[in-house]
Amino acid sequence: DAGVTQSPTHLIKTRGQQVTLRCSPKSGHDTVSWYQQALGQGPQFIFQYYEEEERQRGNFPDRFSGHQFPNYSSELNVNALLLGDSALYLCASSSLYHREGGEAFFGQGTRLTVV
Amino acid sequence: GQNIDQPTEMTATEGAIVQINCTYQTSGFNGLFWYQQHAGEAPTFLSYNVLDGLEEKGRFSSFLSRSKGYSYLLLKELQMKDSASYLCAVRDEEDSSYKLIFGSGTRLLVRP
């Protein structure tokens, strides 16, 4: 059973460019959340997708957008990249209907560097 | 506001016991999680508490007091491989979502 998979693992972009990160959730999970983790910090919640809709959003600008597909996989898009967007982007999958006692499983992350 | 506090760094000796504390203030609460994260890797689940008390899992135990907004992670018989960051996270239930609010993490260094 594959866990949460993210691609790519590393990415270098130039300031002002746009980037798309991808995530496939763990088998049986229907909810995908995205987190940004700056160096030395804990992950910060960006948003969550369930049933192909954004259900909740953290304190991130509109430059951050996402999508969930019918197979539950998800994309995170960031437009007009800033140097401060450099971070590890983590995808976490969970099951909305089994969330009692159910932990979120994290992918290995995408390390984004903006130069 | 939402706030989770944990010490930035701790050092302990191999074979010893260490306790990592976490205090939280969140608008909602439906469980507290501890994750371990080695440098450059994804967080991995260690423990979950939703009711007051102690949960034991091998060398790791976690305690929760909801009235005090307090939790701790206890690591026994420390091994060198336990050197990692330990993240305390609260599940904030709003609109039936599943949002985790993380602390900044505690970097644990285990010395021989």
For chain B, 112 residues long, give each residue's pLDDT as a single digit of tens.
689 999 999 999 999 999 999 999 988 888 899 999 998 888 999 998 989 999 998 999 999 999 999 999 999 999 999 999 999 999 877 555 668 899 999 999 999 9
Chain B residues within 8 Å of chain A (Cβ atoms) = 4, 31, 33, 35, 40-45, 48, 50, 87, 89, 91, 94-105
pLDDT per residue over A31-77, tens digit each?
899 999 999 899 999 999 988 999 889 999 999 999 999 999 999 99
B96 and A96 in contact by Cβ < 8 A?
Answer: yes
CA nearest A108 in B: which residue? B42
Distance CA A87, CA A114 (A): 9
Whether B64 and B33 have beta carbons less than 8 Å apart is answered as no
pLDDT at A3 over 70: yes
Asked if the model's pLDDT at residue A2 lies above 80, the reply is: no
Pairing outcome for strands B106-111 and B84-92: antiparallel
Check CB contact under 8 Å for B42 and A107: yes
Average pLDDT value for chain A: 91
Which 3 state secondary structure label does DSSP give B11? strand
Asked if B100 lies within 8 A of A105 by C-beta distance, the reply is no
Of the candidates A115, A105, A111, which has an alpha carbon nearest to the alpha carbon of residue A32? Answer: A105
User: Going by C-beta distance under 8 Å and a sequence separation of 6 or more, which residues neighbour residue B101?
Assistant: A45, B2, B4, B24, B26, B89, B90, B91, B92
Long-range pairs for A45-53: beta carbons < 8 A, 24 or more residues apart:
A45/B99, A45/B100, A45/B101, A46/A76, A48/B97, A48/B98, A48/B99, A49/A74, A50/A96, A50/B97
Distance from CA of B40 to the nearest CA of A (A): 8
- Do B45 and A105 count as a contact with CB atoms less than 8 A apart? yes
The alpha-carbon gap from A15 to the nearest alpha carbon of chain B, in Å, equals 23
Cα(B108)–Cα(B112) distance, integer angstroms: 13
Distance from CA of A79 to the nearest CA of B (A): 24
